[in-house]
Structure 1
Amino acid sequence: MKVIVAEDQGMLRGALSALLDLEDDIEVIGQAENGRQALELILELSPDICVMDIEMPEMSGLDVAEKLKELGHPCRVVILTTFSRSGYFQRAMKAGASGFLLKDSPIDELGAALRKVRQGGRAVSPELALSFWEAENPLSEREREVLRLAAEGLTAGDIAGRLYLSAGTVRNYMSEAIQKLEAKNRIDAIGIAERNGWI
């Protein structure tokens, strides 16, 4: 099976690729240091699977998975993460990821997971599967957008301009998000949403 490894830490990317290459039935055909590069390599080389870090520069592993799903590309995505956040897990499943594993999993576990995914199955670390039963993301898509832009430091007026809404509507979305997250204020709401992987 042909695999691409996408990971922004060079040493980890190299080690992971070398270990996977030792498996008889796995060939690492490309390595990427950020999400955009991973997407370009997938479109160019058509691997069976891309093993992808969740947090990378330019595009996250989740962004790439969402883009591949949108394009209807057959490459399967296995997400590697150090985070057992339920929000990330839910987004990965919605994006069509076939695997969601912790980075500290043993290499033979990763190899077995890739074989399972290659055969059309799904592979999820048991610790992460438990987090699936945790709270669903309570925020609507609009509330997430407003919080995401607020996290970048934009004011209600800036966000209104960006999303073609009135400043009052933006304030309403913000107020809804604060209530749903039981946050004290906008900064607290952003923190809660980020910790859960909801924005």
Structure 2
Amino acid sequence: MIRILLAEGAPLLRGGLVALFDDVKDLDVVAAVGTGEQVLPTARRRRPDVALIDVGLPGLDVFDAARALREAVPECRTVLMSGRRRTGDLRRAVAARAAGLVLKDTSPGDLVDAIRRAANGSRVIDADMAFVELGSMQSPLTEREVEVLALASRGASAAQIAEDLVLTIGTVRNHLSRINRKVGAQNRIHAIRIAEEAGWL
């Protein structure tokens, strides 16, 4: 029996997945949660074999969660679900040592198969997402520019970024200007959106 922790923010989809897995003899949903804060404590308590987690789950960076789950519950394999083919998600999933990344529009049979394969130690990767990743362009940003933009994406001001990274405000503003030029953005918000969609953040 494969014990599953399901983490999905949409109640209708969460309920549908629970019903789907309940009809499969070798799958057992030991917990179904709807927020990111519930994932780690529930996994520690229920000790699932596979955690199936929505990439868009509120209150959670799922890639950080995959790393944390691997440390806290080493026997648990994390499979991430995404509603869209976003460049960078596959790379981040691999870096987080997730067992797999699947699309929400996959067929029920393929999803069940993906969970079984992940539980058996295999990597599960959606072919379409692999092609998106292979076709993505290399980031033009330096490591420091990514740090600056990542802080900006969390709402930090130039002064806060300067303090966090031990830089002058002028240096931070120069970084932001260079980022805009490199990615072809009109402003900071536009640059963040471009970088996120490209998978550079």
- Structure 1 position 171 matched with structure 2 position 144: no
In the TM superposition, residue 85 of structure 1 has moved relative to its aligned partner by 0.9
1:7 corresponds to: 8
Report the CA distance between 1:122 and its aligned residue.
Answer: 1.1
* 8 Å contact kept, 2:47–2:73: no
Q: TM-score, normalised by structure 1?
A: 0.89
Contact 2:44 2:73 in 1 (8 A): no
1:198 corresponding residue in structure 2: 200
CA distance, structure 2, for counterparts of residue 138 and residue 67 of structure 1: 29
Counterparts of 1:22-171 in structure 2, within 5 Å, are: 22-69=23-70, 71=72, 73-133=74-134, 134-171=136-173
Letter in 1 for 2:30: I
The structure-2 alpha-carbon separation of the partners of 1:57 and 1:9, relative to structure 1 and needing over 3 Å to count, comes to same
Q: In the alignment, residue 169 of structure 1 is paired with which amino acid?
A: T
> After the TM superposition, which of the residue ranges 173-182 and 74-83 deviates more from structure 2?
173-182
CA offset at residue 70 of structure 1? 5.2
SS state at 1:31 partner: strand
Equivalent pairs counted in the alignment come to 199
Q: What SS does the corresponding residue of 1:44 show, helix, strand or coil?
A: helix
One-letter amino acid matched to 1:174: L
Judge conservation of contact 1:10–1:33 (CA < 8 Å) in 2: yes
SS of alignment partner, residue 132 of structure 1:
helix
Structure 2: gaps of 5 or more residues: none
In 2, Cα distance between the equivalents of 1:141 and 1:71? 29
Do structure 1's residue 186 and structure 2's residue 188 form an aligned pair?
A: yes
CA gap of 1:163–1:68, structure 2 versus 1, over 3 A, is farther
Deviation digits for residues 9-34 of structure 1 (CA, Å, limit 9, x no counterpart):
11111111110121111100001111
SS at match of 1:161: helix
- Contact kept? 2:70, 2:77, Cα under 8 Å: no
Identical counterparts, % of pairs: 38
Equivalent residues of 2:66, 2:98 under 8 A apart: yes
Contact map agreement 2:18 2:29 (CA 8 A) in 1: yes
TM-score (structure 2 length as normaliser): 0.88
After superposition, what is the alpha-carbon deviation per residue over 1:60-112, rounded to whole angstroms, capped at 9, x for unaligned? 32221132345573311111111101211211111111111110111110011
Q: 1:141 to 1:30 in 2, by over 3 A?
A: farther
Contact 1:31–1:38 under 8 Å retained in 2: no
Structure 1's 24 and 103: CA in aligned 2 closer, same or farther, altered over 3 A?
same
Q: Tell me if structure 2 keeps the 8 A contact 1:116–1:123.
A: yes
Structure 1 unaligned blocks of 5 or more: none
Cα RMSD, aligned residues only: 2.1
